[in-house]
C-alpha cells in the first residue's frame, strides 16, 4: 500500500483498482479539490476502480462539489465508512442529492465489512 498526501487529505492505494480516501478534519471540499481528487484517481488507478471513503473526520462539501464528486464514469463502487451520526446524515444527504446518478454505493460502520463488500462488486 502506498499513501499520498493531497491538498484535502490522504489517499491510500490499496490495490491497482482500489483507493481509500481520508479527508482531513474541517476541510470544505469544493470543485477545485474534487477535480484534484478525480485527477489523482485517473492517474493512479486502473479503471474501473472502487473507492473506500473513510469518514473518520468531520468535513463538508460545497453544493457544486457534492454534485461533482461521484461523476467519474470510471468509478465502479463506493463504500463509505462512517463513525458518527453526523457522517451518516451527511453521506445520506449526498446520496439523495445525486439520486439521478447510478451510484453503486453502500454505507458501513466497519472498515473490514466495507472492504469485503467492495471485493464482491
For 44-53, the pLDDT digits (tens) are 999 999 999 9
Nearest alpha carbon to residue 97 among 61, 72, 52: 61
User: What pLDDT score does 96 carry?
Assistant: 86
Q: What is the spatial distance between Cα 119 and Cα 108, in angstroms, rounded to a whole number?
A: 14
CA distances from 71 to 53, 74, 83 (A): 15, 9, 25
Residues 6+ apart with CB under 8 A from 53: 20, 21, 23, 78, 79, 80, 81
Please tell me the predicted confidence (pLDDT) of residue 13.
98
pTM, two decimals, is 0.92
pLDDT of residue 56: 94
CATH architecture of the domain with residue range 2-119: 2-Layer Sandwich (3.30)
Taking only the tens place, the pLDDT of each residue in 27-64 is 999 999 999 999 999 999 999 999 999 999 999 999 99
How confident is the prediction for the chain on average, in pLDDT? 94
Residue 85 C-alpha cell reads as 451520526
> What's the Rg (C-alpha) of the chain?
13
**Residue 101: per-residue pLDDT:** 80
pLDDT above 80 for 112: yes
The pLDDT value recorded for residue 98 is 84
Answer with the residue of higher pLDDT: 18 or 83.
Answer: 18
Q: What is the mean pLDDT of residues 54-80?
A: 92
CA distance readout (Å), 100 to 73, 81, 111? 14, 23, 27
Amino acid at each position: 500500500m502506498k499513501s499520498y498526501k493531497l491538498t484535502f487529505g490522504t489517499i491510500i492505494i490499496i490495490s491497482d483498482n482500489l483507493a481509500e480516501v481520508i479527508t482531513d478534519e474541517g476541510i470544505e471540499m469544493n470543485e477545485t479539490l474534487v477535480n484534484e481528487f478525480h485527477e489523482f484517481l485517473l492517474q493512479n488507478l486502473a479503471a474501473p476502480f472502487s473507492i473506500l471513503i473513510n469518514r473518520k473526520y468531520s468535513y463538508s462539501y460545497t453544493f457544486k462539489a457534492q454534485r461533482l464528486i461521484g461523476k467519474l464514469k470510471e468509478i465502479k463502487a463506493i463504500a463509505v465508512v462512517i463513525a458518527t451520526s453526523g457522517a451518516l446524515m451527511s453521506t445520506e444527504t449526498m446520496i439523495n442529492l445525486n439520486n439521478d446518478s447510478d451510484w453503486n454505493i453502500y454505507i458501513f460502520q466497519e472498515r473490514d465489512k466495507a472492504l469485503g463488500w467492495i471485493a464482491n462488486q
